[in-house]
Amino acid sequence: MPEVHGFRAQHSGGVVYLEWTMRSGSICNGISVTRSEDSLNFTQIGSIAGLCGSVSAPVLYRFQDPNPIGNTSLYYRLELGTVGQSNTISLFVPETGFGEYQIFPNPFSANSRLYFFNPRAEQFHLRIFDVRGQAYLSAETTGDNFALGNETLKPGLYYFILYMDGSEAGLVKGNFMVLQN
């Protein structure tokens, strides 16, 4: 049975990038890349023909899904010829444009993330405040999202501002509600 290692997905610039490694000694005849919106019904979105893997060394594979369905969680799985399938991985694909944001999942949970438009991987800063203006969180990234996690946020309304290096003027401003932690 072929063994897939490190199967992961990342969304950037409207494309989902998939990557995985076939462990040494794992071989199959072709790989079908499949996608689902419900984690049950998968449709083939691409394939890699021919012998896959290697008897003597690990083999890295990369695949792009150029047309992911936005504003939903997508599930990906590999069909490894006729010998089995990989584990299923999931990824939320936000649809954001300049000055827009999304918080998912919403209602707010410990796994919530703030997604925003950052196609050139520029340095962004996030500041979160309570209704009294007390700063609760400060973070920075060159990615397109921030993990918000509610373990430090008490129930209540919070405001945030996203800005780029060298500019305190917010490119994105918004708020969110924490119902419980």
Query: Which residue ranges make up each domain of the chain?
Result: 4-93, 101-178
Q: What is the CATH number of domain 101-178?
A: 2.60.40.3080
Interatomic CA distance for residues 113 and 148, integer angstroms: 5
What percentage of the chain reaches a pLDDT higher than 70? 94
Q: Do domains 4-93 and 101-178 have the same CATH topology?
A: yes
- The region, left, alpha or beta by phi > 0 then psi within -120 to 50, assigned to residue 39 is left
What is the CATH architecture of 4-93? Answer: Sandwich (2.60)
CB 65 within 8 A of CB 16: yes
For residue 177, the model assigns a pLDDT of: 86
CB 174 within 8 A of CB 159: yes
**pLDDT surpassing 80 at residue 175:** yes
Q: 25 pLDDT band (50/70/90 cuts)? A: confident
Q: Read off the pLDDT of residues 105-131 as tens digits, 9 standing for 90 and up.
A: 877 878 888 988 887 788 999 999 988
Q: Read off the pLDDT of residues 62-105 as tens digits, 9 standing for 90 and up.
A: 999 999 998 889 999 999 988 889 999 999 888 777 777 888 88
Q: 170 pLDDT band (50/70/90 cuts)? A: low
